[in-house]
Amino acid sequence: MINTITSKEAPDAVGPYSHAMEANGMIFTSGQLPIDPATGEMPATAADQAEISLMNVKRVLEAGGSAMGKILKTTVFLKNMDDFDAVNKVYATFFDTTFPARSCVEVARLPKNALVEIEVIAIK
C-alpha cells in the first residue's frame, strides 16, 4: 500500500507534490525548502536555511511515524558549494554518531531562490 504523508507542522508544498510518500515501510520525502512554517520566510544564510530545511524534514518524518535516526540517505542541494562547510556543521547536529549516506550537489537554482534544499529516504 502507498500512503501520502503530510505534516501540518511543515510549510505547504510550493507545487503539485506531497511532503512525502510511504510504501513498504520506506519514506521518500520531497525536497524540503528552508521556509519557516510559522512565518513563511526563509533566513538569509545557507547555514540557517539548512537548519530550517532539516527541521522541516524532521517534521515530515515524524508525521509519517519515522525519525531522523531512521534516515538511510539524504540529498543536499546547494546553490553554492562554497556553503558546504557551513551547511555540514549544521547538518551534523541533526544526527547522532551514525550519519546516513549522502549526496551533496551544487545546482543552478532552487525554488523560491533558496540556498539549500534537502530530501531524504528513511524507514518507518
pLDDT digits (tens, 9 = 90+) for 37-49: 999 999 999 999 9
Domain of 93, CATH number, reads 3.30.1330.40
Phi, psi dihedral angles at 42 (to 5 degrees): -115, 135
Total structural domains in the chain?
A: 1
Q: What is the pLDDT of residues 68-110, one digit of tens each?
A: 999 999 999 999 999 999 999 999 999 998 999 999 999 999 9
- pTM for this entry: 0.97
Q: What is the DSSP letter of 38?
A: T
d(CA 110, CA 33): 9
Domain housing 10: 2-123
Active-site residues, by number, are 104
